[in-house]
Amino acid sequence: MTFEKDFVFETDLCRLVVGENAIVKSLSLKATGEETLRTDEDIALFSVTQERPYHNEVKLAHPNKRTTYQANSIRLEDGKLVVGFEIIPYEAIVSFREAPMYMTFTLEGFNPKTEKYAGLAMDLPPVAELRLVQLPVKNRKNFGEWLNVSWDETAAVNVLAVSPHARIDSERRKGYRVMTADAVRGIKLVGCTAAMFAAPSDKLMDAIASLEEDYDLPRGVESRRDAAHINASAYWTGVINPLNVDEHIAWAKKGGFRMMLIYYTSIFKEERGYSLNGNYDYRDEYPNGREDLVKMLDRIKEAGITPGLHFLQTHIGLHSRYVTPVCDRRINLTKKFTLAKALGKDDTVIYVDEDPTGTVMHEKCRVLRFGGELISYESYSTEYPYCFKGCVRGWDDTIVTEHPLGEMGGILDISEFGASSVYLNQYSDLQDEIADKLADAYNAGFRYVYFDGSEGTNPPFEYHVPNAQYRVYKKLSPAPLYTEGAAKAHFSWHYLSGGNAFDIFPPELFKRAIDEYPAEEAPRMRQDFTRLNFGWWSYRTGFQPDMYEYGTSRAAAWDCPITVQTNVEMFKSVARTDDTLEVMRRWEDVRAKQWLTDEQKEMLKELGKVHILLIDEKGEYELQPYTEIICPDKQTRAFVIERACGNYVVFWHADGEGKLELPVDPAVISLEKTLGGEAVAFEAADGKSVLPIASRCYLKTSLTAEEIVKAFEASKLI
């Protein structure tokens, strides 16, 4: 950093200029001189926020409300910045670091002018938040809201955290964004650090990787560059165990899956949703506990498949030992109440000091906790004396006890997902206790994880969502190749390098849902340099090979994987399982070989157009668009393929087998099991063709595409 009339902070890539009045003047790229900021906006680099004025004269002169005071001066003392603010009588001490590819600012403390607060018995200064970075960044083609990065083909500006503590955000303005980083009291005020940089776009990931290495963060850049793992689709199972592991391996290999995501219910006892979550007691299929888990995972890895663990780290089951018969004090409460009268064992009305207005009334969530006892209620009074009525004591088989006047309790934080679990208090050590249990299982041989239910925390969510994940992540050894999660916030970018997975879509909505949800999000996630998982696809009756082909091809277009939620019994009973798994095998092979060209990927991004991945007469992959034919019997699925060597129809029976009568001269068609492969015999009579129909076959013909469509539209299943 240099100083003459302005403060100049430099990296190898950029130069930040800030005036003595704390106004940001410039953030330019060294290589090109390109300016990345709006320089006509008087925006200070720093600001401070209080819940209300506390200094007497300020309190008298200004409204008593949450107020932000902008920095208006900077000076250098002992190698640190001393920042002054408008109106309020104290200064902030901020240290800075100029690394080769980024710079950081850290709040070190304050210089309060104590005489200005004379007579006030309070810790000084009364700061709620300190803004460490505030930049008016010009709009560019892309803005990644998760990573908080504005970029295009030439340049990028990134304001980011080096720990879960800094609150990273941006505010849209006309033609630019104010990109910010805040230190927040109650999370981490003094000692909080934020980073920032401008860089040529091709250096953006290198700059973040440098930051991750220097601060020993999860290697989000490295895992995103590991295409062999991060773009591979997954075989998901909730019922695998040492007794059936070989069967699951066989099915996974049939679909070409290189990753296997194992739900915690495969390993630990569970009932009714998430009711036992938190106990993590091994199932009976693991008589030797963790030792059997290690052996099972070794079997999976020996088959060339990478195992991952899927769990809900913030959920505690309502039937777990943490909830009943004595509810743990570390279970979260969403609203606090104080007993206005002592509560005897037989009392069914609970009097409280606080007005319950707005308290939850969903029938599955009307539960109070006082001490270790849970108490359900039917209603409450919103006029004094405040009370809860129709109470049932000892809810969930908790022990009924007496509770003294003044005891504090509150509303149990019951999960909205099925109401079979509750959320733990993230300010307690219970999350670390759960993390130890999960890590013990993961460290048995898993290599990646899915953080399910991650939204289940107490606020502020931008802190607790990533920090809850991080508290688990730090205990996993070796570090996961990548992770996915049900929810994300800024800091989780460093380890949720797999993004998120969409939930199940039924067959009748499948293709439309692919367009509406994952295909819509994929380009937005690209702006955060992250792939998403195109979905957890539940294998069930009604799914057809073309549906999976449509979904997985759209995913491959964006270098994204999918996850199949498997059901072995369904694999065995659904007629077209072999065809569907062959579709998946081909597309997983294409992903592994990185076979798709950029041109093909752009073609596949066009929604509504369907494509098929063929194996041609030479045994090579061939990508072709194809057109669905709506057959009158509703059981025949048929698609026209116009190839350079002639027109084809790929067709099959949706859920069985039979014969298809086609009003076509048998002389103009041939039937093949595979392209250019084994010929399939069919019957001919009266100028019509009767074709066997079951699994996928290919009909080759000299007819035009229009003639083929008309023929199949006039077909009859016999």
Among candidate residues 159, 157, 158, 154, the one with its CA nearest the CA of residue 200: 154
Radius of gyration of the chain (CA): 31
Question: What's the token pair of residue 75?
Answer: 């000076």
Spatial CB neighbours of 57, under 8 Å, sequence gap ≥ 6: none
Among candidate residues 193, 406, 422, the one with its CA nearest the CA of residue 314: 422
- Secondary structure tally for the chain: helices H, strands E: 15, 42
Cα(211)–Cα(203) distance, rounded to whole angstroms?
A: 13
Cα(326)–Cα(317) distance, rounded to whole angstroms?
A: 13
Cα(231)–Cα(531) distance, rounded to whole angstroms?
A: 8
3-state secondary structure of 229: helix
Beta bridge partners of residue 585, listed in sequence order: none
- pLDDT value for 117: 87
- pLDDT value for 676: 86
DSSP 695: S
CATH classification of 621-717, choosing from 3.40.190.10, 2.60.40.1180, 3.10.20.740, 3.30.365.10?
2.60.40.1180
Beta bridge partners of residue 625, listed in sequence order: 611
Cα(139)–Cα(86) distance, rounded to whole angstroms?
A: 29
3-state secondary structure of 476: coil
Among candidate residues 102, 63, 103, 65, the one with its CA nearest the CA of residue 81: 103
Cα(259)–Cα(634) distance, rounded to whole angstroms?
A: 35
DSSP 162: S
Q: Is 532 exposed, middle or buried (0-12, 13-18, 19+ CB in 10 A)?
A: buried
Full 3-state SS string of 55-114? CHHHHHHCCCCCEEEEEEEEEEECCEEEEEECCCCEEEEEEEEECCCCEEEEEEEEEECH
Cα(691)–Cα(670) distance, rounded to whole angstroms?
A: 10
Among candidate residues 79, 107, 91, 298, the one with its CA nearest the CA of residue 194: 107
Low-confidence ranges of the chain (pLDDT < 50): none
Q: Decide whether 2-217 matches 621-717 in CATH topology.
A: no
- pLDDT value for 1: 83
Spatial CB neighbours of 347, under 8 Å, sequence gap ≥ 6: 391, 393
Cα(253)–Cα(553) distance, rounded to whole angstroms?
A: 19
- In single-letter form, the type of residue at position 637 comes to R
Cα(240)–Cα(309) distance, rounded to whole angstroms?
A: 12
Cα(321)–Cα(437) distance, rounded to whole angstroms?
A: 14
Cα(181)–Cα(192) distance, rounded to whole angstroms?
A: 10
Q: Is 624:634 a contact under the CB 8 Å cutoff?
A: no
3-state secondary structure of 224: helix
Residue appearing with tokens 């099959």: 652
- pLDDT value for 685: 85
CATH classification of 230-316+425-494, choosing from 3.20.20.70, 3.90.950.10, 3.40.50.2300, 3.40.50.1860?
3.20.20.70
Question: How is the beta sheet containing 2-3 ordered, strand by strand?
Answer: 2-3, 6-10, 14-19, 24-29
Q: If you count them, how many residues does the chain have? A: 718
- pLDDT value for 511: 94
- pLDDT value for 300: 98
Q: Is 159:194 a contact under the CB 8 Å cutoff?
A: yes
- In single-letter form, the type of residue at position 422 comes to V
The pLDDT tens digits for 635-668 are 999 999 999 999 999 999 999 999 999 999 999 9
Cα(539)–Cα(236) distance, rounded to whole angstroms?
A: 10
The tally of CA atoms less than 13 A away on the side-chain side of residue 153 is 0
Enumerate the domain spans of the chain. 2-217, 230-316+425-494, 333-412, 507-608, 621-717
Cα(564)–Cα(535) distance, rounded to whole angstroms?
A: 8
The 10 Å Cβ neighbour count of residue 9 is: 20
Helix (H) or strand (E) holding 438: helix 430-442
Q: Is the pTM of this model over 0.75?
A: yes
CATH number of 2-217: 2.70.98
Q: Is 15:27 a contact under the CB 8 Å cutoff?
A: yes
- pLDDT value for 193: 98
- In single-letter form, the type of residue at position 453 comes to G
With DSSP H G I counted as helix, E B as strand and the rest as coil, what are the percentages for the chain, rounded to 5? 25, 35, 45
3-state secondary structure of 697: strand
